[in-house]
Amino acid sequence: MRALQGLRGPRAPSLPLLLLCFLAALRRSLEHGLSTAAPFKSLPVQEEMMTKYSNLSLESHNISVTAAPFTSLPVQEEMMTKSSNLSLESHSISMTAAPFTSLPVQEEMMTKSSNLSLESHSISMTVEHSNMPVEKNITLERPSNVELICQFTPSGDLNSVNVTWKKGDKLLEGNYLVNATGGILYTQHRVAVINSKQMGSYSCFFGEKKQQRGTFNLKVPEINGQNKPLITYLGDSVVLMCKCQDCLPLNWTWYGGNGSVQVPIGVPVNDKYVISGKHANETRLKITQLSEDDQGTYLCHAIFELGESEGHVKLVVLSYLVPLKVFCAIAAEVVLLVAAILLFEMYTQKKKKPSDDGKEFEQGEQLKLDDSNGIENSGPRHRKNESVGQ
Amino acid sequence: MAYRAEPPDGGWGWMVVLSAFFQSALVFGVLRSFGVFFVEFVAAFEEPAARVSWIASIGIAVQQFGSPVGSALSTKFGPRPAVMTGGILTALGMLLASFATSLTHLYLSIGLLSGSGWALTFTPTLACLSRYFSRRRSLAMGLALTGVGLSSFAFAPLFQWLLNHYAWRGALLLVSALSLHLVACGALLRPLSLAEDPVVGGPGAQITSLLRHGPFLRYTVALTLINTGYFIPYVHLVAHLRDLGWDPLPAAFLLSVAAISDLVGRVASGWLGDAVPGPVARLLMLWTTLTGVILALYPVAEAPTGLVALTMAYGFTSGALTPVAFSVLPELVGTGKIYCGLGLVQMVESIGGLLGAPLSGKGNKISRWAMAAVFYHGGCRGELI
């Protein structure tokens, strides 16, 4: 019976509707969360109006830590009005620690307009795991407001906890808020990320007997090159591709070269290199007339507003001789096999009927199916067949 | 002039089984595993997958339609020259394909050239095998045809490895070298003359007498119908499973299960065909009826366990009918005319195969399975007559 034909795969469904519902649900839960604050006594209230850059997104990241309860704290309320096209991202990391005493608390109420997207992440840590670094990677593509929140549950006194923020190794002054509700210490730091200078590692430190640390790593999106090396042959042409999953870089550039020297490709536009890309999130480099020198690792640079990212593609150029040698070896093996089989057959025929001088050659390699050959062959073959059946 | 009165049923026949095993592996195993190359072709030639899959379709079509030519040649000159030429043609086709610069180039070299090579190898080998056996024919057939299933398991990872190390050009070159072993397999096919040979005459006379042979014609029609239904389940099983909510990996795994039970079915049915006395055609009827029933149950089965059981059963029965189908033919037309007979059957049933998959694509889910079941029943009715 015949062989299997290829299978047709089904079409994949798309989920735009589901995404919209999810966002709507999250937004509703955020508003609900902000309104349920813990009860507190009368406290000084500071109102602050902040004007924001337009077209900025707000990202809020929390780090929270499990710990013991704490007493009532002064509360500061903050009202902010925002412009449109803002997104709110909220990320949390939690850690366990000792309790602390009353601390100034700042609450923030934010009213949002439409086009809001909300992201909320949280990591929790217990006191047994305080040796493990608590880190969170955040991928940013466009300039936005980023809100980093650390939640810390201390085991001892709330007041004795010292809260600091650092970017890299530099201590950050001012604009971070500390809140204490229900036994958990919250600290929040807002960063307006406009260019690559604001990207990097931000850490919150809770100073106690043992310092607890949570880190947020702000990075640009990663680019996927190709993990496996691309094999090509001399004189052939190849297409190198770099792709970014969910991001849209401003620009792509290609660099190639052997060793440490990185030479930009395509700068003098020529036939050998053609850079193209069907969609904004991918780039293709077509190289024609490959030679040995084209071997090596190629880098595709994606330029974002907030920095650069790169992917690697490794190219290997082989000569035709490499598989050809294997081919010749196998062909020689087949010839030997055929010769062995035919010789064995002749040998057994000769052993059985030494007097019979009919030849039973079929030259398999140089077969010419002309009539004379056919007639010749059928005669002796029939004579031999008595001995068949070993 | 010494002609054997009876097929030897053993002896050198087992070497022919070995040769047929490797041949079915090299012909159909390569065809089935070619899918890994298609991904590379889509990227290299920037053509849609549908156009690339035509390569395999052309190859299979040429192999089937060219079967009468293969059988005519092997009647006239014996199976050995035909198969060895076929092996060289196949290897040549793959060799030329490694230099391809366009998809048309591949259609011609792999589809046409290698396809005709396959046509010259497969049919003569199976026919030669059935001449070597009479009592144990079904078993020999079953064993030889297991080569198809086993090679699909081996060749798919092998081809992927070749692609990773040599890219598709080098990999095609090495597959060509692999196909050269068909020549070695051909060398193993020692010709056999049986008592009927001088009586039935040359290929022209054989073909005309076959076309006037009533039971042979009915058998051909029956096999065509069976062949029409044969591929529908394989083509649509994965889609059917995905519709029911299965993930891709378990669905593919279920296909492997079908392949394994297909293998087991072939050998078991081969053994059974020889162990049970009486005409083999009755067994063919049994397997086709069972397959039809199983297929009719597919739309009803929803639970995973039911589907797994059904797939295993389908694999077993459809594998089981293959060796029996080939074994019925010698009984029908006699071992003298077997080469031509098999060639004609292959050619006609290929029409069914070509029609089956597109036809089934038109209907909805349930009608597909029903269609397949109907085809099988038609086949078994043919057997009844």
Subunit contact B148:A385, Cβ cutoff 8 A: no
Subunit contact A390:B231, Cβ cutoff 8 A: no
Q: How far from A90 is each of A48, A324, B12, B330, CA to CA, in Å?
A: 21, 59, 78, 77
pLDDT band at B249 (very low <50, low <70, confident <90, very high): confident
Residue of chain A whose Cα is closest to the Cα of B64: A2
- Mutation to test the A interface, candidates B12, B57, B67, B77, most A Cβ within 10 Å: B77
pLDDT at A96: 44
Strand partners, A63: A93, A150
Name which of A1, A338, A388 is nearest B322 (Cβ-Cβ). A1
Q: Is B188 helix (H, G, I), strand (E, B) or coil?
A: coil
CA B177/CA B72 separation, integer angstroms = 27
Q: How far from A33 is each of A29, A76, A350, CA to CA, in Å?
A: 6, 17, 97
pLDDT at A44: 40
Tokens of A298: 């190629």
pLDDT tens digits along A242-268: 888 888 888 888 888 666 677 777 767
pLDDT band at B106 (very low <50, low <70, confident <90, very high): very high
pLDDT band at B172 (very low <50, low <70, confident <90, very high): very high
What is the interface size between A and B, counted as CB pairs within 8 Å? 167
Tokens of B331: 């009984």
State in Å, rounded, how far the first CA of chain A is from the last one: 30
Does the ipTM exceed 0.90? no
Chain B residues with beta carbon closer than 8 angstroms to that of A232: 167
Tokens of A372: 């004379």
pLDDT at B368: 63
CA B89/CA B206 separation, integer angstroms = 26
CA B343/CA A264 separation, integer angstroms = 61
Over the range A63-76, which residues count as b (16 or more CB within 10 Å of their CB) and which as e? bbbbbbebeebbbb
CA A165/CA A177 separation, integer angstroms = 10
Chain B residues with beta carbon closer than 8 angstroms to that of A330: 174, 177-178, 180
pLDDT at A60: 53
Subunit contact A341:B191, Cβ cutoff 8 A: no
Q: How far from B378 is each of B70, B375, B383, CA to CA, in Å?
A: 29, 5, 9
Residues 323-362, chain B, touching A (beta carbon < 8 A) = 325, 350, 353, 357
How big is the CA angle at B255 (ends B249 and B260), to the nearest 5 degrees?
125
pLDDT band at A286 (very low <50, low <70, confident <90, very high): confident
CA A121/CA A119 separation, integer angstroms = 7
CA B89/CA B80 separation, integer angstroms = 14
Which range (A279-283, A334-338, B13-17) has the least confidence?
Answer: A279-283
- Secondary structure in 3-state letters for chain A: CCCCCCCCCCCCCCCHHHHHHHHHHHHHHHHHHHHCCCCCCCCCCCCCCCCCCCCCEEEEEEEEECCCCCCCCCEEEEEEECCCCCCEEEEEEEEECCCCCCCCEEEEEEECCCCCCEEEEEEEECHHHCCCCEEEEEECCCCEEEEEEEEEECCCCCCCCEEEEEECCEECCCCEEEEEECCEEEEEEEEEECCHHHCEEEEEEEECCCCEEEEEEEECCCCECCCCCEEEECCCCEEEEEECCCCCCCEEEEEECCCCCCEECCCCCCCCEEEECCCCCEEEEEECCCCHHHCEEEEEEEEECCEEEEEEEEEEEECCHHHHHHHHHHHHHHHHHHHHHHHHHHHHHHHHCCCCCCCCCCCCCCCCCCHHHHHHHHHHHHHHHHHCCC
Mean pLDDT computed over every residue of chain A: 66
User: Mean pLDDT: which of A59-63, A286-290, A357-361, B116-120 is highest?
Assistant: B116-120
Residue of chain A whose Cα is closest to the Cα of B53: A6
Averaged over A137-166, what is the pLDDT? 78
pLDDT at A101: 38
CA B68/CA B177 separation, integer angstroms = 26
Chain B residues with beta carbon closer than 8 angstroms to that of A334: 177, 180-181, 183-184
Residue count of chain A, please give it.
Answer: 390
Alpha-carbon torsion B162, B168, B169, B172, what sign? positive
Eight-class DSSP state of B194: B
CA A364/CA B81 separation, integer angstroms = 6
pTM more than 0.80: no
Name which of B60, B84, B192 is nearest A3 (Cβ-Cβ). B60
Q: Across the beta sheet with A238-243, what order do the strands follow?
A: A238-243, A282-287, A273-276
Name which of A5, A228, A386 is nearest B235 (Cβ-Cβ). A5
For residue B83, give the nearest of A387, A375, A341 by alpha carbon. Answer: A341
Eight-class DSSP state of B109: I
Q: How far is A141 from chain B (nearest CA, A)?
A: 30
Over the range B276-297, which residues count as b (16 or more CB within 10 Å of their CB) and which as e? eeeebbebbbbbbbbbbebbbb
Output the furthest CA–CA distance in chain B (Å, rounded): 66
pLDDT tens digits along A43-76: 343 433 343 444 445 555 554 444 333 333 333 3
User: Mean pLDDT: which of A273-277, B91-95, B313-317, B338-342 is highest?
Assistant: B91-95
pLDDT tens digits along A308-326: 888 889 999 999 899 999 9
Chain B residues with beta carbon closer than 8 angstroms to that of A364: 80-81, 84, 183, 186-187
Averaged over B286-298, what is the pLDDT? 81
What percent of chain B has pLDDT above 70?
A: 86
pLDDT tens digits along A230-242: 899 998 888 888 8
More confident of the two residues A122 and B146: B146
Tokens of B237: 């099983």
pLDDT of B104 above 80: yes
Subunit contact A233:B167, Cβ cutoff 8 A: yes
Averaged over B168-191, what is the pLDDT? 92
